[in-house]
Amino acid sequence: ANQLAHKLREQGVGPDVLVGIAMQRSLEMVIGLLGIVKAGGAYVPLDPEYPQDRLSYMFEDSGIALLLTQSHLRETLPIPVGLRSLDLDTEDLSGYNDGNLNLDVAPLNLAYVIYTSGSTGRPKGAGNSHQALVNRLWWMQKAYGLGASDSVLQKTPFSFDVSVWEFFWPLMTGARLVMAQPGAHRDPQLLVETINHCGITTLHFVPSMLQAFMTHEAVESCVSLKRVVCSGEALPAELARQTLQRLPAAGLYNLYGPTEAAIDVTHWTCQADESISVPIGQPIDNLKTHILEGSLQPAV
């Protein structure tokens, strides 16, 4: 990652410079993300599974001047003519320094730009700063405490902001980062096998995927799990109760936050007796939440 960062600096990457990254889940993906951030830039994930017209729009709208990808994806991507690109699976970085760069990156410089689903008609890029990301990650460490014996499963597509903490939280704290196979996030059988084979202690589900996971008869075999994190959708109380019952050694945490606000802004620790709905909870460190009426005035 450091060698890549030195290469990227040669290519003009620095604070607030956006670098596209289009890859399948792999070691190269992690090296690419770290390399961009280490060079002071901000990464823009471009999921190869997205439709061509969406990718074309994101290439154009983001204004990236450099793309990191993999050689086998090159012909499947609508890469604009003239856009510089590097294939990380074949790029020789051996001649570059492997030490950290001495960079002047400010707290409000961008760390990443993730495109939302486009509820307004077209996807829009939501940028988040190093300050916001570091606050979110240190809160998570303070709240849930990863250690060197922990293993975090990275299974969220990197075009969704949950992936940001899946990548950086374990690497920041000395825990182990385990990359799920491409497509494994949709397959309960593969998830059970991966959790048990790799001793996964920490992973994330959107509630609909947790529901699918709970249909597997071998869920109780996942005794290594300590932390199950949910976000992205409302968490049904019955699903929360079932999860805590079948995974008694694990905590279940309901988080909430829009992509624009650095992953999550509120948190709730689920209890075995959750009633009708699971709350989104209290604000994380250094944030405030405001409850408004329908007229957007503060609720009394």
Does residue 118 surpass a pLDDT of 70?
no
* Sheet strands side by side (includes 202-205): 176-179, 151-154, 202-205, 227-230, 251-256, 266-269, 282-283
Q: Residue 100's domain is classified under what CATH number?
A: 3.40.50.980
CA 57 to CA 238: how far, in whole Å? 40
Is 277 inside a domain boundary? yes
Say if residue 255 is in the same domain as residue 202: yes
Q: Provide the token pair at 229.
A: 């994190």
Is 13 inside a domain boundary? yes
Say if residue 271 is in the same domain as residue 198: yes
Query: Which of residues 57 and 120 earns the better pLDDT score?
Result: 57
Per-residue pLDDT at 299: 92
Which helix H or strand E contains 211, and what residues bound it? helix 207-213
Say if residue 30 is in the same domain as residue 135: no
Share of the chain above pLDDT 70, in %: 99
Are residues 223 and 249 in contact, defined by beta-carbon separation less than 8 angstroms? yes
- Domain end, chosen from 68, 90, 105, is at 105
Is 81 inside a domain boundary? yes
Tokens 């996971």 — which residue? 213
Are residues 193 and 162 in contact, defined by beta-carbon separation less than 8 angstroms? no
Looking at residue 184, its amino acid is: A
- Nearest C-alpha neighbor of 116 from the set 12, 259, 223: 259
DSSP bridge partners of 16: none
Mean predicted confidence (pLDDT) in 26-43 = 97
Does residue 119 surpass a pLDDT of 70?
no
The separation between CA 224 and the C-alpha centre of its own chain, rounded to angstroms, equals 22
Is 41 inside a domain boundary? yes
Is 249 inside a domain boundary? yes
Say if residue 145 is in the same domain as residue 13: no
Instruction: Give residue 120's pLDDT band: very low, low, confident or very high (50, 70, 90).
Output: low
* Full residue range of the structural domain in which residue 32 is found: 2-105
Identify the sign of the CA torsion 3, 108, 203, 199: positive
Total tally of structural domains belonging to the chain = 2
Say if residue 83 is in the same domain as residue 19: yes
Is 7 inside a domain boundary? yes
Say if residue 91 is in the same domain as residue 140: no
DSSP bridge partners of 69: 22, 87
Is 75 inside a domain boundary? yes
Say if residue 278 is in the same domain as residue 135: yes
Per-residue pLDDT at 277: 81
Say if residue 267 is in the same domain as residue 202: yes
Say if residue 87 is in the same domain as residue 7: yes
- Per the prediction, the chain carries an average pLDDT of 95
Share of the chain above pLDDT 90, in %: 92
Per-residue pLDDT at 26: 92
Say if residue 168 is in the same domain as residue 59: no
Q: Residue 264's domain is classified under what CATH number?
A: 3.40.50.12780
Q: Provide the token pair at 260.
A: 């624009």
Say if residue 98 is in the same domain as residue 134: no
Per-residue pLDDT at 282: 96
Say if residue 9 is in the same domain as residue 42: yes
